[in-house]
Amino acid sequence: MNKIMIVDPDSVALKQLNMQLTAKGFETMIFDRPADALSAAEVFRPELIISEVSFPEINGFTFLAGIRKIERLNRTPFIFLSYQADTQTKIKAFESSADEFIAKPYEFRDLLVRLNLQIKLRKDTSYSGETSASGDLRNNPLRLVLDQIRMKKQSGILRVVHWGETSFIGFRDGEIIYSKSINRIGKQAIFYLFTLQTGKYKFAEDEKVPARNVLDPYGPLMAMAEKISEFAGRVLPRYTGTSRIMFVDPTLILHLSASTDIKDSNLGRLLETCQSLEKVINYTEYGVLEVLKLLQDYLTAKQVIVENTSDF
């Protein structure tokens, strides 16, 4: 039975999550004060810790720092689950060695997938010995794949194949230095990959990595990528992972195509010719977050209608 520690000043949220996790077979220990949790952590020895960021006394970052000072717990998966989910807070969380950041309100199914994968990652006997990774993004989200390569300090190329198109992320000693996805390069390629719900991935260690085109440190990069992922979850089909464009308002096409802005005219052509929203996101010249926001507006106004489906 996996042991999970939950720390949250909100007694209602604390009891609800505790009930959900115990129903799934987890052994839990709950606290509303980080100081009490820190005192009990070495004895309880949780296999994963879930914590809020904001507390009346010490904050979640101080609590995390205290956990990392305990030798037996310095690699224990730590997930922040918080309403305080702005980009700067997420950056600080990842830079403070948090393994995940999930914004409230959250879907329990999403939380369950992430915590199970974090526990599996730490228990994986190949964690310190296996030099390559492969699998399906349906079962192992991209963020955890990147974390695994980073923590092993590996060098090489991660390939992600989605709908027959291959994207690349290059690592040097666990640091992301290169990325390319169809017509996107650098961090925008990584942001696009975080919109995907499906795809096969394979990591080839020691493969030659092209010249650096990603300059951002890992923490800020992942904070923005998580924001992209959350936004994509609202715009794109979730868990099915695919979308087919069923209808695009002709007046929207005419409006975009007639624009003097090359990005608008390009977006108009893509909406007219692409089969899926994910292809529109990748091929347009807009930034990934910008095009997601545009698509959300179009979907809300029924100017674009999509059908959620399995692979096609």
Enumerate the domain spans of the chain.
3-123, 133-230, 242-309
Q: Which helix (H) or strand (E) holds 236?
A: none
Per CATH, is 3-123 categorized as 3.40.50.2300? yes
Average pLDDT over residues 25-37: 94
247-274 per-position pLDDT tens digit: 999 999 999 999 999 899 999 999 999 8
Using the structure block, give the residue that is written with the tokens 């955890």. Answer: 144
Give pLDDT, residue 12. 93
Sign, CA dihedral 52-53-54-58, equals positive
Q: Which helix (H) or strand (E) holds 84?
A: none
- pTM, two decimals, is 0.70
Helix (H, G, I), strand (E, B) or coil at 75: coil
For residues 279 and 192, give the distance between their C-alpha atoms in angstroms, rounded to a whole number. Answer: 10
Q: Does 312 have pLDDT greater than 80?
A: no
Give the residues across from 80 on adjacent strands.
51, 101
| Rg of the chain over all Cα atoms, to the nearest angstrom | 21
Pairing between strand 184-185 and 156-162?
unpaired
Extended strands (E) in the chain: 3-7, 27-31, 48-51, 78-82, 100-103, 133-136, 156-162, 165-172, 175-181, 184-185, 200-205, 242-248, 304-309
Give pLDDT, residue 237. 67
Give pLDDT, residue 238. 56
75-108 per-position pLDDT tens digit: 899 999 999 988 888 888 888 888 888 888 888 8
